[in-house]
Chains A and B, each alone.
Chain A
Amino acid sequence: MSTAISENQQLTYIAGQAADARVNVELESEGMTLNIGPQHPATHGTLRIIAQLDGEQVVKAEPVMGYMHRGYEKLVEVRTYPQVTTLINRIDWLGAFANEVPFILAAEKLMEVEAPPRAKYIRTIFFEMSRIANISLFLGEMGVQLGAVTPAFFAFRDREHVLNLMEAVTGGRFHPNYDRIGGLKEDLPKGWVAECKTVMERIRGYCDEMETLLMGNEIFETRCRGIGVIPKDIALQYGLSGANLRASGVDWDLRRDGDADMAWKEADWKVWTHPDGDSFARYWVRLQETREATKIVDQLLDGLPAGPIMAKVPRIIKVPAGEAWCSTENPLGEMGYYIVSKGDIGPFRVKIRSASFNNIHVVPWVLRGVYVPDIITILASLYFILGDIDR
């Protein structure tokens, strides 16, 4: 396998050079090099795929990333711990709160602080809400990639309510910047719990709607079933995580199997897997996960303990020297931070492990031999956020 990849990389590198040299390649008899992106409606941003085509069939495809690299790992080194959350909000911008949690948890590990139970509950609720905000958009966006425009608008319609709830608590719709070392910024406002429950009901309705409108559609099934199959062993070899891994039949979820100190174990929920590993399975798993997330939120809201939301932490946060790693099951997959501290007010070095960056590496393998329309199906079903690839 490994030799095939390096040869592949070599050839696509040459193809990429050729594509760079000529913007419009004449039609060579041996095939055509199609440059998908960096500006293309299907890549949600600035991903570039160099595809060598034979007719409409892909011979080789290579993703080129880095067009939106913002250098967060370096920027984080010149900021204090409380300032970092503002930055890392922007990594996976659709589920922004979920980015903050592993960083804060890693820092708390170093400081040996523990957030009070209420803070843990609210953190988990927000974590799952950002999962809903993220994945519900995927459920509609997949339709757009396959040519059905309407589901995306339904997604925006119902996602709006989740964002409104977040805004009511944190003041930020997109980038909450709500998590603090030792707890949370603020407590929930009055009446929020009841409203949150109606919104969760609404999201479940949206999931049902997507199930009938999009997933139950025969054309959707013919476009997705058996397209972009990633077998279990390949998924593990390439280090996929999140729903992409679970859709290949690997029962692994950091919310259940990880050691992050959150409130998931207080709720009764299920990890969904699908044996097929194709695009349909990835959609199906994400749809079920959104439903599970609403159930988790409902149950945690019922069991929400009273008490403070902030542990005792010093005013100026200095993290003792040491190293800590924490990863959680973010909407896109495993996201983790490795913090190296030298006892300063800011981290010495932070390694960000984001899910999409690792998930995208399977693209050359899975795109071989597919048709051009299937490139779009597969990329859409792998579901990456460009900010999560290029940090």
Chain B
Amino acid sequence: MIPVLGLELAYWQETFLRVVGVLAAVLLPAGAIVQTFLFKVMSHMQSRLGPMEAGPHGSLQLLAEVGKFLQKEDISPVQADRRLFKMAPYIVIVSTLLVYVAIPFGPDMVFADLDVGIFYALAVSSISVIGILVAGWASANKYSLMGGLRAAGQLIAYELPLILAVIGVIIQAGTLNMQGIVAAQAEGEIFGFGALGNPFVLTQLVGFVIFLIAMQAELTQTPFDMPVAESELVAGFMTEYSGLRFLLFFIGEFATAGAFAAIAATLFLGGWWIPGVDLDADIMNAIGPLVLFAKMMLIAFLVFWVRFTYPRFREDQLQSFAWKFLIPLSLLNILATGVLKVVF
């Protein structure tokens, strides 16, 4: 990405830029999602104002919250497995950081343009389940343990429909490379009309809906929030965490929401591309991230809208929903996509 800026940079400078870039890519969407949806949209949906004191209309509330968490005491329970207990939040956050590596933000704005980009992104996103399981186990708390186990069962069950939903897109695009998927959507055409490209949400509507549902479950948001079900398990695997470590889990949750929203936007909504702009125009390196961010927020809005409205499933109901409904449906979707790919 560096030659775009017309600069020759040393390796360490480039590395530094990449690290800053990934951190910005993780933290900015996470912060924006928390501030916009969790603080304000949720409040207005619930006929209240939400935070109003910190900054105009409460816009600095996020900083206040982060400051609060940083000041809190880092407590670890006496019977906890100290090393694992302290390690768990980092596993979760690292898995999120790794997902962002493969997501393209513009023609050259990608940290690593992997040929198996989507495969890689979905693979590393499931590392977080190890962190959650470790957190649940190491806390030496029964609520945490149940939360961790529930999370493991749920995340593994919903990984399948998530991946199966993506396969339809991959068949249609003919590539695993995320830039290739964006290009396939930009260059596609709808019955000979190509000005708008062919965002896969039109042809893969079923896949898109399955992806959104499975994503909701992967993010453990209501109606799939049994791992943290506050009325049953207090806070699930996060019960014993405080201060910075809780903050890391919290950032992990919302940064992962951002990451999955970015993947969904890339796969189904055309990624960083907007109609009317040439695919490899330099200007897209500047506009692309903003376009993708807008699409991410759109997807995130759907996720959080559902979260604020629905009650939660029970664990067995969630499993049967995944295995008896979502997975057969996504297999059918793959079949239909394959047949149509051959026919056309």
Q: Does B232 contact A (CB under 8 A)?
A: yes
In-complex Cβ contact of A373 among B45, B140, B222, B229 (8 A): B229
The verdict on A373 contacting B230 (CB below 8 Å), with A34-B142, A147-B225, A148-B309 known, is: no
Residues of A with C-beta under 8 A to B145: 27
Fill in one digit per residue for A129-151: 1 if any B CB lies within 8 Å of its CB, else 0: 00000000000000111111110
User: Are A219 and B313 touching (Cβ within 8 A)?
Assistant: yes
In-complex Cβ contact of B310 among A27, A40, A217 (8 A): A217
Cα separation A157 to B45 with both chains bound (whole Å): 12
Q: Does B13 contact A (CB under 8 A)?
A: no
The verdict on A150 contacting B313 (CB below 8 Å), with A24-B140, A42-B232, A373-B229 known, is: no
Residues of B with C-beta under 8 A to A185: none
Residues of A with C-beta under 8 A to B47: 153-154, 157
User: Are B310 and A147 touching (Cβ within 8 A)?
Assistant: yes
Q: Does B316 contact A (CB under 8 A)?
A: yes
Which parts of A49-70 form the interface with B (CB within 8 Å)? 56
> Smallest Cβ distance from A239 to chain B, in angstroms?
27
In-complex Cβ contact of A372 among B140, B146, B225, B317 (8 A): B146
Cα separation A77 to B319 with both chains bound (whole Å): 56
Please name the residue on chain B nearest to A56 by beta carbon.
B315
Q: Does A375 contact B (CB under 8 A)?
A: yes
User: Are B311 and A148 touching (Cβ within 8 A)?
Assistant: yes
> Smallest Cβ distance from A137 to chain B, in angstroms?
15
User: Are A219 and B46 touching (Cβ within 8 A)?
Assistant: no
User: Are B230 and A41 touching (Cβ within 8 A)?
Assistant: yes
Q: Does A222 contact B (CB under 8 A)?
A: yes
User: Are A222 and B317 touching (Cβ within 8 A)?
Assistant: yes
Q: Does B231 contact A (CB under 8 A)?
A: yes
The verdict on A375 contacting B311 (CB below 8 Å), with A24-B141, A150-B45 known, is: no
Cα separation A310 to B70 with both chains bound (whole Å): 61
Cα separation A220 to B314 with both chains bound (whole Å): 10
Interface-central residue, B45, B46, B47, B232, by most chain A CB under 10 Å: B232
Residues of B with C-beta under 8 A to A41: 230-231, 234
User: Are B46 and A56 touching (Cβ within 8 A)?
Assistant: no
Please name the residue on chain B nearest to A148 by beta carbon.
B311
B contact residues vs A (CB 8 Å cutoff): 45-48, 79, 140-143, 145-146, 222-223, 225-226, 229-232, 234, 308-317
A contact residues vs B (CB 8 Å cutoff): 24-25, 27, 32, 34-35, 40-42, 56, 143-150, 153-154, 157, 213-214, 217, 219-220, 222-223, 371-376, 380
Q: Which 9 A-B pairs have the closest CB atoms?
A: A147-B312, A146-B311, A153-B46, A148-B311, A42-B231, A373-B314, A147-B311, A145-B231, A219-B311
**9 new A-B pairs (CB below 8 Å) besides A34-B142, A35-B142, A147-B225?**
A34-B143, A147-B231, A149-B308, A154-B47, A219-B311, A219-B312, A222-B314, A223-B312, A374-B314
Q: Jot down 30 A-B pairs with beta carbons below 8 A, ordered by A.
A: A24-B79, A24-B141, A25-B142, A34-B142, A34-B143, A41-B231, A42-B232, A143-B311, A146-B231, A146-B311, A147-B225, A147-B311, A148-B222, A148-B311, A150-B308, A153-B48, A154-B47, A157-B47, A217-B311, A219-B310, A219-B311, A223-B311, A223-B317, A371-B314, A371-B315, A372-B232, A373-B232, A373-B315, A376-B232, A380-B231
